[in-house]
Amino acid sequence: MAGQVLDGKACAQQFRSNIANEIKSIQGHVPGFAPNLAIIQVGNRPDSATYVRMKRKAAEEAGIVANFIHLDESATEFEVLRYVDQLNEDPHTHGIIVQLPLPAHLDEDRITSRVLAEKDVDGFGPTNIGELNKKNGHPFFLPCTPKGIIELLHKANVTIEGSRSVVIGRSDIVGSPVAELLKSLNSTVTITHSKTRDIASYLHDADIVVVAIGQPEFVKGEWFKPRDGTSSDKKTVVIDVGTNYVADPSKKSGFKCVGDVEFNEAIKYVHLITPVPGGVGPMTVAMLMQNTLIAAKRQMEESSKPLQIPPLPLKLLTPVPSDIDISRAQQPKLINQLAQELGIYSHELELYGHYKAKISPKVIERLQTRQNGKYILVSGITPTPLGEGKSTTTMGLVQALTAHLGKPAIANVRQPSLGPTLGVKGGAAGGGYSQVIPMDEFNLHLTGDIHAIGAANNLLAAAIDTRMFHETTQKNDATFYNRLVPRKNGKRKFTPSMQRRLNRLGIQKTNPDDLTPEEINKFARLNIDPDTITIKRVVDINDRMLRQITIGQAPTEKNHTRVTGFDITVASELMAILALSKDLRDMKERIGRVVVAADVNRSPVTVEDVGCTGALTALLRDAIKPNLMQTLEGTPVLVHAGPFANISIGASSVIADRVALKLVGTEPEAKTEAGYVVTEAGFDFTMGGERFFNIKCRSSGLTPNAVVLVATVRALKSHGGAPDVKPGQPLPSAYTEENIEFVEKGAANMCKQIANIKQFGVPVVVAINKFETDTEGEIAAIRKAALEAGAFEAVTSNHWAEGGKGAIDLAKAVIEASNQPVDFHFLYDVNSSVEDKLTTIVQKMYGGAAIDILPEAQRKIDMYKEQGFGNLPICIAKTQYSLSHDATLKGVPTGFTFPIRDVRLSNGAGYLYALAAEIQTIPGLATYAGYMAVEVDDDGEIDGLF
Amino acid sequence: MAGQVLDGKACAQQFRSNIANEIKSIQGHVPGFAPNLAIIQVGNRPDSATYVRMKRKAAEEAGIVANFIHLDESATEFEVLRYVDQLNEDPHTHGIIVQLPLPAHLDEDRITSRVLAEKDVDGFGPTNIGELNKKNGHPFFLPCTPKGIIELLHKANVTIEGSRSVVIGRSDIVGSPVAELLKSLNSTVTITHSKTRDIASYLHDADIVVVAIGQPEFVKGEWFKPRDGTSSDKKTVVIDVGTNYVADPSKKSGFKCVGDVEFNEAIKYVHLITPVPGGVGPMTVAMLMQNTLIAAKRQMEESSKPLQIPPLPLKLLTPVPSDIDISRAQQPKLINQLAQELGIYSHELELYGHYKAKISPKVIERLQTRQNGKYILVSGITPTPLGEGKSTTTMGLVQALTAHLGKPAIANVRQPSLGPTLGVKGGAAGGGYSQVIPMDEFNLHLTGDIHAIGAANNLLAAAIDTRMFHETTQKNDATFYNRLVPRKNGKRKFTPSMQRRLNRLGIQKTNPDDLTPEEINKFARLNIDPDTITIKRVVDINDRMLRQITIGQAPTEKNHTRVTGFDITVASELMAILALSKDLRDMKERIGRVVVAADVNRSPVTVEDVGCTGALTALLRDAIKPNLMQTLEGTPVLVHAGPFANISIGASSVIADRVALKLVGTEPEAKTEAGYVVTEAGFDFTMGGERFFNIKCRSSGLTPNAVVLVATVRALKSHGGAPDVKPGQPLPSAYTEENIEFVEKGAANMCKQIANIKQFGVPVVVAINKFETDTEGEIAAIRKAALEAGAFEAVTSNHWAEGGKGAIDLAKAVIEASNQPVDFHFLYDVNSSVEDKLTTIVQKMYGGAAIDILPEAQRKIDMYKEQGFGNLPICIAKTQYSLSHDATLKGVPTGFTFPIRDVRLSNGAGYLYALAAEIQTIPGLATYAGYMAVEVDDDGEIDGLF
């Protein structure tokens, strides 16, 4: 009785149509689902072209996007690998195949091995083959031909388990893997090959025979005849993988296609046999499509899974060692591992050593379909010399959320300035068992962002002064213009910034030689009024001697002296811009808008006018990328920007917040819970929080879900009237012994802060940062006051001594609070008058009665209004030690009149700032300063840094 | 006829003894050869302990170091992986095995997969198994048990090719890999297993049977009986892998060990059979030793192979585009790939983004047995406004050496300052098709080293001024001392730097409260004389207005004003120290020695006295690591330090040279040729080269093998009397048309430089940097003059337009020259008097007749001699545009008297510098400056930078 034909073509057709249906069905609930197969072909071999055509056609039928990348025969290995790398990283590409054979100058193995295992839909990469060859391995994909063979056997209801199978041929792409598959399905497999003696002898008993030896009709039909004397009811199934072209003059093409088996004879003795063509070939292509679909589905699942951030174990010691000792005792994760845990691709990451990295803000674009995570602001009560521990609380909270409650959470903090780090004990790494590590790298240089700001600011300052010098020393317009727009190699042209300035001046000319003398004067002379220059030079060191200086005293400067000064770098407008920019383009535009001075006609002169926008942006091109570090428990921290808390917003950057909120965000179709971004703002809520909402959130469009208000028993006692604390002297006993009265009295400050937060419509959790001497009665008093004042919850937190474990209660309260509805609104309308905005802040936040604008300040307000800067939000610089302008007024002063001594413009940053007092914008070093204790051993280990 | 026993124990013994002999034999010519096997065990399983003991014993017998790492049962995955990572990176470890099973909380697969394939002597990692399963794969190691089985078969002269073999059991560690090995040796293999029906039916015909099913005496002896009716001369070989413990009351231990085969029965029917115990077991352990030896030998070979640095292809365009366009058109290698090509381990590398990395100077220690590569200095003739192209030649030369001649070569260059980069067209990235890429990253910030120096210098300056301020404002010693050594939390202690100062002062006390009033005065008061302060503040911007300033004018500074100024950062002594330090410790000591001022008694006050050594070193801890980048052709470049060429050495760092010379060096036993390190020194040979030899080489102990002297036809014409070139005006025709007379006359300058180089005993190659208008006659004239002056060779080089290809002739000449004997000697003895050293340099290098020391300079010389600084080498600061002190004297002036106007001390850097003229240490910005053309697009691409 003749055998039957096993029809691969029909089977493949059915697979393709099933795939198409499944894709459509998924698209029903995930509209963006689009399986995408990249096919790289190098050169122009006709056979390769045929195969690629078949694959593209099959993809189209199956509803899969085929991304065909056709490279020139001469492409170098480096170029091919670059394409592979790009496709590996491209989230829209699910499968990648490199059409073989490649031109002889390319290393096939190196190139195919470069394809990520998760995208290796051919199944031949080292990981997938390795897993296939493991007994209980988990390959991402099975190689297409072997997989197609098994599917055909299944289709024909062939029993594989317990069968005897013979594989003829031991190639890497068919023979060996199909034998592995059969073995894994519990067949007993014999692999025969060119060196096997008497192959026929193995076939008589075989149930399944796979032939892949690449020789036309090598296997004779009669080999399948039952052995003499054995029964003839053997039901052998033959899979013929061969595709051999042999001469056939009867065909129009001159050749015909035959398999490795003598089909017409074999079919007489076997139960089932695949034809050639129409057998295994179409199945191979169909399996490629199925693998692509599998890849796309897996990626969809992966991207909707919650992030997995395994914590680093903490070994808590008592008494708690110094911050640097704790930091050094912990071996951090390699930062690329943490980035991977956060789902950041390697091309989005720039490593800076082993423990710091910059993240490309392009992450925001890639994850644009995600809903943001929860946004938590950590703020504090009015500061006291005792310290409240906002940074430590921020770190403890994220450590608790991620390492102890399994919720993805990112802490977003500012980069510390070297000034305080080397001046007084400071830094913002947190402390104890809640800090950023390695703390020395965090505190010194980080990735150089502050230095980049310093360089940019000082280029601007030099450009302004030098421009004035040249304008003054070259009295003749023509000579000056010739130097400003010089001829080079005979050619003369405007730089792009000059061209933009001409356009602003209404001069529509592009040839420098075409300007009239009037136009030259208008264009070339900035006529800066030296008394109006607002840009000071900066240095990131506490150098008090530079507060006020006279420059230009060298003979070469020809008596063009000027009184000016230095600020600390973090006080510069560029730092505020870095913190408030939404992206690189926004930063560039803000830099261009910075008003550096007025000209002799009181018109504003901008960075664009000085021609510095591009150079400043170039110097800050890397600084705009947030820096990834980690907490002591290996959870992620973004460190970015660090604007001064006195005269600026004192918060980390909008870009870092946007990146972090997307990283812990969720895809709309995902069922998982969003993660948390915890950030902080300098000083108390009334200063830092108010600016955070009215300036930073207004700029970013982001809305917090909850505010954590940090308080301590000691600080509240200080507000409640406990004796003053003096450096170097023992703490008065009022602080170390129970005193509920001081606590209750001081809690008024906390309650005012709670009320202030509630004015913005956001829920408040009070975190009582625990000290050993706190008593239950004191804590109960705080909690009672907080709840009465409208806090959502008030809990103690012991993260300094215990890390995240100590902040679990706080974390739980924050999770609950952030699920409350938010009714967010700004405190004031930016379009109200400057005076009204000032009054609103003073009355609603500070509790003052009225404002008193001094004449000099009023003159500036009028000028800014006239120049069109009247509708900016306002940052008020005042003492941080009181709700009022008077540092000696603790608790909750009321009824005071708040003085406005000066108003200044930060047009690039996008706000006016009003000064209630003389604010020191560069600190000094004390007689004993932090730098004196710092030592470095021969291995580069730093000691004495706190 | 009964079969024979195949004795694995004896065979294993022989293997171990062969291994021991081979190791001894290798140690005969490579004494350091010490194969080292790391064994990681986690927890205390008794069976694991037994296996580990056996392995350690076998290692000892074989002469292999067994490094046993025993971790606690509770070790986390993170900790175990850290050990694996360290061993992976440790060059002394050749093999790593993780004893299985691991405690349940650890992921075995993730941990074993982490072992580098090159050290995976167990052979079960993904790469080795993957390669084993490939038809023509190249595993580093075969798994030990399967390998031992094959060795046993070889030993017994069993023919494998063409045989029929049956493997019983399909485990990952025996069955499957042994089947693969047998298959690869051309046996026809059937794998049977638990689901196989009638295993016995497969055995009748088998030549080789491997049993590894893990069931005591599962295989019955009679299964080997020949099939009925077949001949009985079958010679079956049985390998029994089973090790099963079964109860045996007759034994003292209560159990006996049996195999998977019924040995006593089977031996009746088979030809050969392994016993249990004493069969496969000992062979497994012996193979582990053999794999370790293989690993050690491979590593020895790898480390003595020449480096393979595949070049990036260049697509040359005509006309040559702008530097930044060329840089952007080339896709660089990822820098970790280049580092890998250089043999740098990943723990020695700190990435800074994708295209820059810092290299740990610890590489020098790791490669200490290597002989240094060849050391080539690129220098130039006396500069002209036309430029000679030293940096471009440096890049072209290394590109030619590596990308075109296959010789490893590293270019060592300085980091450019932002000042010139944003001021005038400058930078030191080379140009055209010979440059460092990405050039924007090279020119802006790099990895922040210059910023770090700026921060350190400015901390020092602030510390000095603030110290004086506090000393002056606190008149009372006791008050001042109390503030300098404050009480903290009741305790009071000296910082380490204070303690060192006390020791220097001869005060042997450690308790601050113990000092007498006299000691307090001596210790606490530095009494700096403000007029003697030598430390200026720095900024890395061309800010001419800061050349001379008055500081301290704010009211808070109480009239403590002082006239001082800023230098550009690269002119600071700290930059010179960075360039000249041998290692971190040396840098720290040099920083401590820097003399910042004299006290009122004319005694030097150092950085140590100010208490800044540790903090400054901490700020420079990363800056001391050289930066790796690449040329346009993907060959390595180290960028490090950038001291001013006028008042300092104008060369890159000693550390970078030491690292590079080791990286391209060779092991003493290696037969390969050493590679090349090409570095350059600022200005002409007479300035930069002289300091390179007399200061830098004296400090480093390194000796160059050849000097490349760069000249151009145009520059020689300028020296020969061709008309002056004026910016913005067309080049005079003397430069663009043939003029052999000018060339011949100007060649005298080149000849003087050649003579100067030869005074040091080093061979010279003249590189004629080619321009289109050069004629054959002009070039012939230069070559003739050069050879007559004693140059080893003089060749033209067209690297600017053609990259390395254009510098092949130059590279060949350099290779030959560097094979010449070197008779290196310094120009002067440092112990001769300051006056003699000055005279020697002026007469022997500059061609002057005498020196004229001005009184102010003489006074300083006398003071330095008195302070003990008289025997330092000397750096003379003079115009670079003439051999003399007079910029207008071109060619080869003679007979002049050279003025010494001032002498200054750089005690940390280790030299005195003498000024022949007023040297500007901070440049200014021109009316049109480079920054004006810089633009950044929304993707962060920078344009307009040159």
Distance (Å, whole) CA B41 – CA B47: 11
The CA distance from A924 to B928, in Å, is: 37
Q: Quick check: helix, strand or coil at residue B273?
A: strand
Task: Indicate the DSSP class of residue A930.
Answer: G
For chain B, the straight-line distance linking the first and the last C-alpha, in angstroms and rounded, comes to 91
Q: What is the pLDDT of residues B741-755, one digit of tens each?
A: 999 999 999 999 999
Unique residue bearing structure tokens 């003439």: B882
pLDDT interval class at A1 (50, 70, 90): low
- Residue B387 pLDDT level (bands cut at 50, 70, 90): confident
According to CATH, the topology of domain A834-915 is Formyltetrahydrofolate synthetase; domain 3 (3.10.410)
User: What pLDDT score does B622 carry?
Assistant: 97
CB contact under 8 A, B495 and A455: no
Q: Is A453 on the interface with B (CB under 8 A)?
A: no
Is the predicted pLDDT of residue A509 greater than 70, yes or no?
Answer: yes
CA angle A434, A439, A442 (to 5 degrees): 115
pLDDT score of B196: 95
CB of A539 within 8 Å of a chain B CB? The answer is yes
Element housing A289 (H / E): helix A280-304
Closest CA to B858 of B833, B880, B830: B833
CA atoms within 13 A on the CB side of B574: 34
Instruction: Quote the pLDDT of residue A64.
Output: 96
For residue B137, count other CB atoms closer than 10 A to its CB.
18
Starting at the edge strand that comes first in sequence, how are the strands of the sheet with B874-877 ordered?
B874-877, B911-915, B902-906
What is the model's pLDDT at position A891?
85
Cβ B549–A545 below 8 Å, yes or no? no
Mean pLDDT of A296-315: 90
Tell me which range, A325-339, A649-663, B195-209, B885-899, is most confidently predicted by mean pLDDT: A649-663
Other beta carbons within 10 Å of A701 = 9
Residue B730, pLDDT > 80, answer no
Q: How far is CA A737 from the centre of its chain?
A: 46
**Is the separation of the CB atoms in A830 and A872 below 8 Å?**
yes
B4-296: CATH architecture: 3-Layer(aba) Sandwich (3.40)
What lies within 8 Å, CB to CB, of A930 at 6+ separation is A421, A422, A423, A424, A425, A426, A945, A946
Q: Which two tokens stand for residue B841?
A: 């340099």
* Topology match between the domains A450-620 and A834-915: no
List, for residues A595-636, the tens digit of each pLDDT value.
999 999 999 999 999 999 999 999 999 999 999 999 999 999
Give B878's DSSP letter. -
Percent of chain B with pLDDT over 70: 98
Say what the pLDDT of residue A428 is: 66
The Cα–Cα gap between B494 and B145 comes to 64
Cis peptide before A319 (omega within 30 of 0): yes
Residue B144 has a pLDDT of 96
Q: Are strands A255-258 and A244-247 parallel, antiparallel or unpaired?
A: antiparallel
What is the reported pLDDT for A41?
97
- Helices (H), strands (E): how many in chain A? 35, 38
Assign B623 to helix, strand or coil. coil
User: What confidence score (pLDDT) does residue B425 get?
Assistant: 59
Residues in chain B with CB shorter than 8 Å from the CB of A126 are 126-127, 130
The one-character DSSP state at A643 is -
Tokens 């912990």, located at residue: A330
Domain ranges for chain A: 4-296, 323-444+631-819, 450-620, 834-915
- A315 labelled catalytic: no
Mean pLDDT of A532-545: 96
Residue of A430, A437, A684, A426 lying closest to A570 (CA atoms): A426
Distance CA B345, CA B334 (A): 15
User: Which 3 state secondary structure label does DSSP give A767?
Assistant: strand
Considering only CA atoms, which of A698, A688, A850 is closest in space to residue A757? Answer: A688
pLDDT bin (cut points 50, 70, 90) of residue B944 is confident
Burial B389-419 (b: 16+ CB within 10 A, else e): bbbbbbbbbbbbbbbbbebbbbbbbbbbbbb
pLDDT at B917 (0 to 100) = 85
What is the band of B729 on the pLDDT scale with cuts at 50, 70, 90? confident
Look up residue B623 and give its two tokens: 């800056």
pLDDT of the residue at A233:
61
Contact call for residues A542 and A568 (beta carbons, < 8 A): yes
Task: Dump pLDDT digits (tens) for A6-23.
Answer: 999 999 999 999 999 999
Distance from C-alpha of B165 to C-alpha of B151, rounded to nearest angstrom? 16
Q: Using the Cα atoms of residue A657, residue A662, residue A666 and residue A667 in order, give the sign of their dihedral.
A: positive
pLDDT in tens, B424-444: 755 568 899 999 999 999 999
Distance (Å) from the C-alpha of residue B40 to the closest C-alpha of chain A?
20
CB spacing of A162 vs B451 below 8 angstroms = no
- B547 → closest Cβ in A541, A556, A936: A556
Statement: residue A671 has pLDDT above 80: no
pTM for the model: 0.92
Question: What secondary structure letter does DSSP report for A651?
Answer: B
Could you give phi then psi for residue A454, rounded to 5 degrees? -60, -45
Six-digit token pair at B316?
Answer: 């040359």
Token pair belonging to B878: 């003079």
Specify the pLDDT at position A892. 93
Residue B944 touches partner A, C-beta closer than 8 Å: yes
Number of H helices, E strands in chain B: 35, 38
Number of Cβ pairs < 8 A linking chain A and chain B: 370
CA–CA gap between residue B146 and residue B148 (Å, rounded): 5
Q: What is the pLDDT of residue B946?
A: 72
Residue A119 is which amino acid?
K
Please name the residue of chain A whose CA is at the shortest distance from the CA of residue B499: A933
- Give the HSE-up count for residue B76: Cα atoms under 13 Å, Cβ half-sphere: 10
Do β-strands B434-437 and B430-431 pair in parallel, antiparallel, or remain unpaired? antiparallel
Q: Please choose, from the candidates A699, A622, A610, the residue with its C-alpha nearest in 3D space to the C-alpha of residue B936.
A: A622
Q: Is the pLDDT of residue A490 over 80?
A: no
Is the pLDDT score of B669 beyond 80?
Answer: no
Confidence of residue A232 (pLDDT cuts 50, 70, 90): low
Average per-residue pLDDT for chain A? 93
Name the amino acid, one letter, at A300.
Answer: M
Per residue in B773-820, pLDDT tens? 999 999 999 999 999 999 999 999 999 999 999 999 999 999 999 999
User: What homologous superfamily does CATH list for B450-620?
Assistant: Domain 2, N(10)-formyltetrahydrofolate synthetase (3.30.1510.10)
A55 is catalytic: yes
* pLDDT over 90, % of chain B: 83
Confidence tier at A506 by pLDDT (50, 70, 90): very high
A134 touches chain B (CB under 8 A): yes
pLDDT at A29: 87
Exposed, middle or buried, B871 (CB in 10 Å: 0-12/13-18/19+)? middle
The span from the CA of A733 to the CA of B914, in Å, is 64
d(CA A926, CA B462): 11
Residue type, A754: I
Mean pLDDT of the residues in chain B = 93
Mean pLDDT across B384-399: 91
Q: How far is A85 from chain B (nearest CA, A)?
A: 11
DSSP track, A338-407 = HHHHTT--GGGEEEBSSS-EEE-THHHHHTTTSBP-EEEEEEESS--TT---HHHHHHHHHHIIIIIT--
B82 touches chain A (CB under 8 A): yes
Examine the pLDDT at A386 and tell me if it is beyond 70: yes
Distance, CA of B430 to CA of B642 (rounded, Å): 15
Q: Look-up: residue for tokens 């390795």?
A: A130
B62 pLDDT tier (thresholds 50, 70, 90): very high
Pairing of strands A374-380, A706-711: parallel
Confidence band, pLDDT 50/70/90 cuts, at residue A579: very high
Range A323-444+631-819 classified under CATH 3.60.15.10: no
Q: How far apart are CA A841 and CA A826, in angstroms?
A: 11
Q: Does the CB of B134 have a partner CB in chain A at under 8 Å?
A: yes
Average pLDDT estimate for A21-39: 94
Per-residue pLDDT, B472:
94
State pLDDT tens for residues A814-852.
999 999 999 999 999 999 999 999 999 999 999 999 999
Q: In chain A, what residues touch B617 (CB-CB under 8 Å)?
A: 936
Identify the band that residue B228 occupies on the pLDDT scale cut at 50, 70 and 90. Answer: low
Give tens-digit pLDDT for B19-49: 999 999 999 988 889 999 999 999 999 889 9
Indicate whether A229 pLDDT > 70. Answer: no
In one-letter notation, the amino acid at residue B54 is M
Question: How far apart are alpha carbons B204 and A464 in whole angstroms?
Answer: 97
Interior angle at CA A721, CA A718 and CA A722, nearest 5: 60
**pLDDT tens digits for range B463-496:** 999 999 999 999 899 999 999 999 887 789 999 9
pLDDT digits (tens, 9 = 90+) for A388-421: 899 999 999 999 999 999 999 999 999 999 998 8
Of residues B41, B55, B207, B435, which has the active-site annotation? B55
Residue A230 — pLDDT band, cuts 50, 70, 90? low
Is B122 assigned a catalytic role? yes
